Amino acid sequence: QLQLQESGPGLVKPSETLSLTCSVSGGSVSSSSYYWGWIRQPPGKGLEWIGSIYYSGSTYYNPSLKSRVTMSVDTSKNQFSLKLSSVTAADTAVYYCATQSYVQYQLPYYFDYWGQGTLVTVSS
Amino acid sequence: DIVMTQSPDSLAVSLGERATIKCKSSQSVLYSSDNKNYLAWYQQKPGQPPNLLIYWASTRKSGVPDRFSGSGSGTDFTLTISSLQAEDVAVYYCQQYYSAPPYTFGQGTKLEIK
């Protein structure tokens, strides 16, 4: 069974770049069956999709964040990553990585497997 | 963007009773070419990540108890827990994958024991 684990700094200063990595075990980021997604949840609030990436590098980003988001895949390390630039306090959230089921020539579907999440606080 | 609206925002149900959560999408998520509703339900217990319960509006993920069921089509969907157990206390979210970006979630429904 796929397992995902987020890692990265828990505290980021305003205007800096948030960087997180998701390590995948029990499967391969090169799988043709999944996109690899990031979702965040501000404390006490709901879920917001950030973006998703395929092993080929194809991406979908949330238009509300697109100008600040960069995602990448490292097949040699079986990891994928998120960078969010110019952060503010509004970016304080638990960040989850997740798999997104995919069938060729379709949009990715639902989020099957989730990491435990990592809290990132934006504060000086 | 497709807006997902859940009702109610919170719900208290007695153990063993039925719990019903609604989800309404701002446009149809029924894809005519395959007659599938592109709608999923998730359960999030305190301190845990969301857990996929149901996809294609009514298909239970393997391992999900059969007291959980999903129904509906087009723009109106329902998650039903037939006999509430203590371990079902959680926040429940619906999500559409018909149109993206962006993928969108409902605001969540908090389910508690009465």
**Structure tokens belonging to residue A30:** 């090169």
Q: How far is A124 from chain B (nearest CA, A)?
A: 26
Mean of per-residue pLDDT scores for chain A:
97
Q: Could you say which of B48, B55, B102 has the minimum Cβ distance to residue A62?
A: B102
Per residue in A3-39, pLDDT (tens digit) is 999 999 999 999 999 999 999 999 999 999 999 999 9
What does the alpha-carbon distance between residue B17 and residue A16 come to, in Å, rounded to a whole number?
50
Closest among A101, A84, A116 to A37, alpha carbons compared: A101
* pLDDT at A70 (0 to 100): 98
Give residue A95's pLDDT band: very low, low, confident or very high (50, 70, 90): very high
Report the pLDDT averaged over residues A45-53.
98
The answer to whether the CB of B39 falls within 8 A of the CB of B57 is yes
pLDDT, position A107 = 92
Cβ neighbours for B20, distance < 8 A, ≥ 6 positions apart = B78, B79, B80, B81
DSSP H or E stretch at residue B53? strand B51-55
Q: What confidence score (pLDDT) does residue B42 get?
A: 98
Q: Is B29 on the interface with A (CB under 8 A)?
A: no
State the pLDDT at residue A45: 98
pLDDT band at A65 (very low <50, low <70, confident <90, very high): very high
**B58-103 pLDDT, tens digit each:** 999 999 999 999 999 999 999 999 999 999 999 999 999 999 999 9
Q: How many helices (H) and strands (E) does chain B have?
A: 0, 13
Q: Which of B61, B5, B60, B57 lies closest to B36 in space, CA to CA?
A: B57
Of A95, A99, A100, which Cα lies nearest the Cα of A69? A95
Angle formed at CA B48 by CA B14 and CA A60, multiple of 5 degrees: 120
Q: Which of A46, A101, A114 sits opposite B49 (nearest CB)?
A: A114
